[in-house]
Chains A and B, each alone.
Chain A
Amino acid sequence: MSKLPTPSRASSDKSSSHPGFAVRSSATSSSLASRRATVYDRNMNRRAPDLALSTFAFLFSEMVQYSQKNVKGVQEMENRLSAYGYHVGQRVLELATVREIKNAKRETRVLGLLQFINTTIWKAIFGKVADALEKSKDQEDEYMIIDNNPVANSYISVPKELSSLDCASFQAGVIEAVMDGCQFPAKITAHSVPTELYPLKTVFLVKLDPLVIEREKYMR
């Protein structure tokens, strides 16, 4: 059996157990608890009104600039951006579920999960559903999520050298976090496949971990 958890608190006294805590900190947090509204008072269903796309675009372009420091190549750069997306994705997953809690269910099959990502997750953060979901004909462990016009790419007033692949890495990170969270580990890579109609078209290649394939087979 794996390491057993120790109960973290009894129902009685809860004085801060961390030594070296500044007195102000524990005093503040308990007065915080009583005094002001905390995040726990917020209504999750009250969605904040939308913000300007430019806000995201400016923030994102700075993230890219910052990530460029000390980076030894494109791959490392994409990993860093993907990490930001991962952080966001972990939260969007649970947030999107809790908002639809009446109809919520856990995805137990690959196809169901990918459709959930394409619709609910995409809508939750990008305000639209992804354009297509395809299964690779040759590889049984590969699927493709297609976005003709990734939101993060369609911005203005940012340096042209910002490649669209950077934004896609961020989105790939979001997808990866959702898949990991739902217990469907996979590697996600973003590929730019411009067409005349959709110059920013991006394909997110989802390569499932062998463990997932095994489990799918078993469940059939």
Chain B
Amino acid sequence: MSFYLAIIGSKDNAIYSLDFGTYRQGGDGTSKFSADVRQLCPFIVHSSLDIIEEVQWTNSAMHLKVIDKFYNYLISAYVTSGNIKFLLLHETRADEVIRQFFVDLYDLYVKTLMSPFYSVDQAITSKVFDQRVKMLAKKYL
């Protein structure tokens, strides 16, 4: 099973992205997207931003669950107080596990934000952040 994670800033700009696969059932953690699909991931995820824009005003929860579909892929979303969006492209529905993943991701995001040298909407390039996201992916997905 493959996943694509994107963190999108308040100005709809990309802050971070990662594609990975599951470690469960003998998976090795690398995504199995075909090249075509892999190339499309950012676009797919980006187009669901419009849906988020509408839904976020009627739903005051952070975890918006599945908000969009693309063929057999689902897109789940989580929106922070500061309007930063976590988007996950995945294959099977798993609301609760994905929510926990997003909550821990939020924790990582806030730690990044707390540094005075990181500005809101800036791309996250820290290798440690990347490492920690992968650990979360392994833990939950």
Name the residue of chain B whose CB is nearest to the CB of A112. B60
Question: Do the beta carbons of A44 and B110 come within 8 Å of each other?
Answer: yes
B125 contacts which chain A residues (CB < 8 A)? 8
B74 at the interface (CB under 8 A from A): no
- A85 to chain B: closest CB distance in Å? 14
- A154 to chain B: closest CB distance in Å? 26
Q: Interface size class for chain A?
A: 35 or more
Q: How far is the CA of A87 from the CA of B80 in the complex (A)?
A: 17
A29 contacts which chain B residues (CB < 8 A)? 127
Interface of A is mostly: loop
B132 contacts which chain A residues (CB < 8 A)? 40
A19 at the interface (CB under 8 A from B): no
Q: How far is the CA of A2 from the CA of B30 in the complex (A)?
A: 30
Question: Do the beta carbons of B57 and A219 come within 8 Å of each other?
Answer: yes
B116 at the interface (CB under 8 A from A): yes
Q: How far is the CA of A4 from the CA of B8 in the complex (A)?
A: 11
Question: Do the beta carbons of B46 and A5 come within 8 Å of each other?
Answer: yes
Interface of chain A residues 162 through 220 with chain B (CB within 8 A): 181-183, 215, 219
Question: Do the beta carbons of B111 and A181 come within 8 Å of each other?
Answer: no
Q: A1-B47, A5-B42, A104-B62 are in contact. Are A11 and B19 (CB under 8 A)?
A: yes
Stretch at the interface among A55-63, A64-72, A89-97, A127-135: A89-97
Interface residues as binary, A86-108 with B (CB distance below 8 Å gives 1, 0 otherwise): 01001101111110010011111
- A135 to chain B: closest CB distance in Å? 21
Residue in A4, A93, A96, A104 whose CB lies within 8 Å of B43: A4
Residue in B16, B60, B79, B127 whose CB lies within 8 Å of A33: B127
Question: Do the beta carbons of A94 and B128 come within 8 Å of each other?
Answer: no
Q: Interface size class for chain B?
A: 35 or more
Name the residue of chain A whose CB is nearest to the CB of B9. A5
A30 at the interface (CB under 8 A from B): yes
B13 at the interface (CB under 8 A from A): yes
B14 at the interface (CB under 8 A from A): yes
Interface residues as binary, A5-49 with B (CB distance below 8 Å gives 1, 0 otherwise): 111111100100000000000000110110000111010100000
Q: How far is the CA of A219 from the CA of B21 in the complex (A)?
A: 40
Question: Do the beta carbons of B81 and A106 come within 8 Å of each other?
Answer: yes
Interface residues as binary, B11-55 with A (CB distance below 8 Å gives 1, 0 otherwise): 011101111100000000111000000000111001100000000
- Interchain Cβ contacts under 8 Å between A and B, 12 examples: A5-B6, A7-B42, A32-B128, A33-B131, A39-B112, A87-B116, A93-B81, A95-B113, A105-B62, A108-B56, A108-B58, A182-B82
- Which A residues lie at the B interface, using CB under 8 A? 1-2, 4-11, 14, 29-30, 32-33, 38-40, 42, 44, 87, 90-91, 93-98, 101, 104-108, 181-183, 215, 219
Given A2-B12, A39-B115, A94-B109, 20 more contacts at CB 8 Å? A1-B46, A5-B8, A5-B42, A5-B46, A10-B19, A11-B19, A11-B31, A14-B127, A14-B130, A33-B127, A40-B111, A42-B111, A87-B116, A90-B113, A96-B81, A98-B106, A101-B106, A104-B81, A107-B60, A215-B57
